[in-house]
Amino acid sequence: MAYALPLSFPNAAALPRVVLTLVGLWVVIGLSGCASSRPALETQDGYSLDMTQALIVSSAKNALGTPYRWGGTTASGLDCSGLTQRSYQSAGISIPRTSNQQFQNLPRRERARPGDLLFFGPRGRASHVGIYIGNNEMIHAPGAGRTVRVSNITKRYWRHHFLGVAGPRN
């Protein structure tokens, strides 16, 4: 279906913005129909991700190789909770700043799904957080002198310090 603009458009300078707005609206309407009919992404172990999970995981993957920086929340340096906060923000979800605040405030889950947060620490206090990506792996910012990376959560250290799983509200 073709749409014609009137020949005497009242504000010619605004024409490109109007066209972009119409195109953007068409894309949003078209994609919204697709989002509910099929998953946005599938992980290696067969999890089907919804759009929110896909955005969180994609953002975390884009941060791979970023240097660790205590208190960091930008592409020039991230700490573990800065990574999770930034990844969730990419999906439009606001979460607290520190790993323990995230652990205390986000809804708990029985089982991890891609995009969920995995918490680690001593005596019930979260001191580290990572983003589960499926296949027993998480993306996290491990500490000084390292970069954001993928780690296997079946390693003894992670099993021993594991506190729980939390994720965005459904």
Per-residue pLDDT of the chain (170 residues), as tens digits, is: 443 333 343 444 544 443 334 334 333 334 444 443 333 445 566 768 899 999 999 999 999 999 999 999 999 999 999 999 999 999 999 999 999 999 999 999 999 999 999 999 999 999 999 999 999 999 999 999 999 999 999 999 999 999 999 998 75
Q: How far apart are CA 10 and CA 155, in angstroms?
A: 66
Same domain for 128 and 80? yes
8 A C-beta contact, residue 153 and residue 101: no
pLDDT at 48: 83
- Alpha helices (H) in 36-64, listed in sequence order: 51-62
Same domain for 73 and 154? yes
Same domain for 115 and 134? yes
* DSSP string over 84-147: HHHHHHHTT----SSHHHHHHHSPEESS--TT-EEEE-STT---EEEEEEETTEEEE---TT-B
Active site residue 140: yes
> Closest by alpha carbon to 3, among 14, 13, 11, 21?
21
pLDDT at 169: 73
Q: Which of 34, 80, 160, 161 is the catalytic position?
A: 80
Same domain for 31 and 78? no
Q: Considering the domain boundaries, does residue 58 fall inside one?
A: yes
pLDDT at 133: 97
**pTM for this entry:** 0.74
pLDDT at 42: 54
Q: How far apart are CA 167 and CA 117, in angstroms?
A: 6
Q: How far apart are CA 25 and CA 149, in angstroms?
A: 37
Q: Considering the domain boundaries, does residue 2 fall inside one?
A: no
Same domain for 72 and 118? yes
Which 3 state secondary structure label does DSSP give 80?
A: helix
User: Residue for token digits 């993957």?
Assistant: 61
Structural domain span for residue 16: 10-39
Neighbour-count burial of 136, counting CB atoms closer than 10 A to its CB (0-12 exposed, 13-18 middle, 19+ buried) = middle
Active site residue 161: no
pLDDT at 168: 82
Same domain for 66 and 146? yes
Same domain for 26 and 48? no
Number of domains in the chain: 2
Q: Which of 34, 128, 160, 161 is the catalytic position?
A: 128
- Any idea how long the chain is? 170
Tokens of 112: 């991890």
Q: How far apart are CA 86 and CA 83, in angstroms?
A: 5
Same domain for 127 and 76? yes
Same domain for 47 and 106? yes
Active site residue 80: yes
Q: What is the CATH number of the domain that holds 103?
A: 3.90.1720.10
Same domain for 127 and 55? yes
- Cα dihedral 83→140→121→166 (10° resolution): 70
